[in-house]
Amino acid sequence: MTAWDLSHFYEPHVLCYHRELDHQNGHDNVRVFVRGWVAFLSCENDLLMIRVTQPHMEGYCQQDHQPLTFASSFPRLLNDVVMVSWPEVGRRLAAVSGEVSYPNRHIDLLDEVNVFGFTMELSEVNITSESGSLGAPLLDGEGNVVGVLHGGNGRFSFFISLGDLREVLNQWGFILAVPA
Ligand SMILES: [Zn+2]
């Protein structure tokens, strides 16, 4: 399946932090979302990228939306990491910290039945997560992305590994800057 195929039955809508605040302080009676587009898709790595175009953002929010940076290396075992998620509408910026329990387990060693044929490696962290948090970034102690939430088993959470993220983003034509 391609991003184009997916666009026929999935229309992502994005709520930015500022418009969420506008809703909470009463400026927006209802939450206002902006239309996004599936720009890239990697079925084997369970990743997709949603793009929001500049013309859409001009009519939606004029404030800065700072991009996250990616770490150059994954933290060591037992180092602290933080997941920042938005598990459901209204519960913005739910942050939870934990420790790295293993950096890269191949998905075949975790899922007894890998029905979707995923091929990525997953980083294991001793935090719990909710299903609505899928796609949440995992950050290291310096605030750099080191993983993206794939799922959990009620005790540990599993994040698409930094190596897989870098590889997929390179395939999509993005060259990641390494933090200074
Ligand atoms: Zn905004």
Q: Which residue ranges make up each domain of the chain?
A: 3-58, 80-171
Question: What separation in angstroms does the CA of 76 have from each of 18, 119, 139?
Answer: 34, 23, 13
Q: What confidence tens digit (pLDDT) does each residue in 112-131 have?
A: 678 889 999 999 999 999 88
Q: Average per-residue pLDDT in the chain? A: 92
Per-residue model confidence (pLDDT) at position 92: 82
Task: Compute the average pLDDT of residues 148-166.
Answer: 94
Q: Kindly report the CATH number that applies to the domain delimited by 80-171.
A: 2.40.10.10
Q: How far is the CA of 21 from the centre of ligand 1 (A)?
A: 9
Q: How far is the CA of 64 from the centre of ligand 1 (A)?
A: 7
Burial label for 87, CB within 10 Å (0-12, 13-18, 19+), is middle
Q: How far is the CA of 41 from the centre of ligand 1 (A)?
A: 25
Per-residue model confidence (pLDDT) at position 88: 83
Which regions of the chain does DSSP assign to beta strands (E)? 13-14, 34-35, 37-42, 47-51, 80-85, 94-106, 121-125, 137-139, 145-152, 157-161
Q: What confidence tens digit (pLDDT) does each residue in 56-112 have?
A: 899 999 999 998 999 999 999 999 999 999 888 778 888 999 999 999 999 988 866
Q: How far is the CA of 140 from the centre of ligand 1 (A)?
A: 24
Q: How far is the CA of 28 from the centre of ligand 1 (A)?
A: 13
Q: What is the pTM of this model?
A: 0.92
Instruction: Give the whole-number percent of the chain exceeding pLDDT 70.
Output: 97
